[in-house]
Amino acid sequence: MPGGFALNRQPVSQETLAADPLAVFESWFAEAQAQDPRFADAMTLATATPEGRPSARTVLYKGLSDGAVCFVSNYGSTKGQELELNPRAALVFYWPSSNRQVRLEGSVERAPAAWSDRYFAGRARSSQIGAWASAQSQVIASREVLEARIAEAEARFRDQPVPRPPFWGGYWLRPERIEFWHGQDARLHDRFSYRASESGWKIERLSP
């Protein structure tokens, strides 16, 4: 039992999967949250330059909106710059507690300003100040420089709400392909791929 959890070995069949992959995702995510809420929302985000040089990092899942998977970032970060020039990405969730993985691929767009404003307004004030202070992914001389920027931001917005920085906001990944992986004994894993088409989602079982 890795991490103290009993792995779910119940086989997955195409007949038991919903026709809408986002419904399957929400069900699996809810189970992961119930089993281990500390890391359920962690997902790997892979982006690439126009020349195809990839980079990946872990970000936090911020829910679904209008059929898109949401996350947030500084627009000037490495991922923000890469998405500006090559607006396609891949996401991976892995939940050891349930022995499941979900992969999503698709196009990425900036979330509407109203969505980003609402999300930012709900953040802790310290996180709001941090968004103003950090030029994400840029070289910085020392932690003291960062702390000075935080002090400047705190002074700037003292006794008033902290507005969302114009260089920070949400991103929406609109899935075109979603793969569900459920680990089984002897490497006979269950894998199902959903692909978007004009007639809806096409589902296929994949060899492990």
Output the pTM of the full model.
0.91
Q: Mention every residue, 6+ apart, whose C-beta is less than 8 A from residue 47.
A: 54, 55, 56, 78, 79, 82, 83, 86, 89
Report the phi/psi class of residue 108: left, alpha or beta, with left for phi > 0 and alpha for psi in -120 to 50: beta
Indicate if 187 belongs to the active site.
yes
pLDDT tens digits, residue range 82-118?
999 999 999 999 999 999 999 999 999 999 999 999 9
pLDDT tens digits, residue range 117-164?
999 999 999 999 999 999 998 999 999 999 999 999 999 999 999 999
pLDDT tens digits, residue range 27-60?
999 999 999 999 999 999 999 999 999 999 999 9
Catalytic residue of the set 174, 187, 195, 205: 187
Token pair of 53, please? 């040089």
Q: Enumerate domains of the chain plus CATH numbers.
A: 2-206 (2.30.110.10)
